[in-house]
Amino acid sequence: MNGFSFKRQSVEEAHFVEHSEIEKKKNIEVGVEGGILIPKDFSKDRTVAVKLNFHFGQEGDRIVFTLKTTTVFDVDESLGNDIADSKVESECLPITLAQLRKTVKNVSEAYGRGPIDLPPFDEENNE
């Protein structure tokens, strides 16, 4: 990546509910929304973070699975101290989404369910 290096992704919150009495559906809604955190003073902190809220299913579905994640990147000094949201989005979002797919799979397995294998997000293909 140009000036950013992946540091870690952490799960801030995870919820998984299965309603076995509800019939399975073939099409389940999946959504992701989030934001970017850029420090005001890069002399004290040279990291940026991408926070995501992921949901699989919705109220009334057999399975409802939500995650809140934070993905942190180190910022190379060569980028200077003025980093635009668009730069973070174009460079860090594809990595963040790829990490989210891995996390969804791992967490769903940890809940004792089969792995939820999401297809790549469109933004991942923009790398």
Q: Which amino acid type is present at position 106?
A: N
Question: What is the rounded CA–CA span in Å between residue 71 and residue 120?
Answer: 17
Closest CA to 65 of 8, 114, 99: 114
| Per-residue pLDDT tens listing for the chain (127 residues) | 688 999 999 999 999 888 888 887 778 888 999 999 999 888 889 999 999 999 998 888 888 999 999 999 999 988 888 888 899 999 999 999 999 999 999 998 888 888 888 888 877 765 4
The confidence score (pLDDT) of residue 97 equals 94
The confidence score (pLDDT) of residue 66 equals 94
Beta-strand runs (E) in the chain = 4-18, 30-37, 47-56, 63-75
Domains of the chain: 4-126 (3.10.420.10)
Distances (CA, A) of 1 to 7, 15, 87, 89: 12, 32, 11, 12
Mean pLDDT over the full length of the chain: 89
Are the C-beta atoms of 46 and 94 separated by less than 8 Å? Answer: no
Are the C-beta atoms of 24 and 62 separated by less than 8 Å? Answer: yes
Tokens of 88: 């973070």
The reported pTM is 0.86
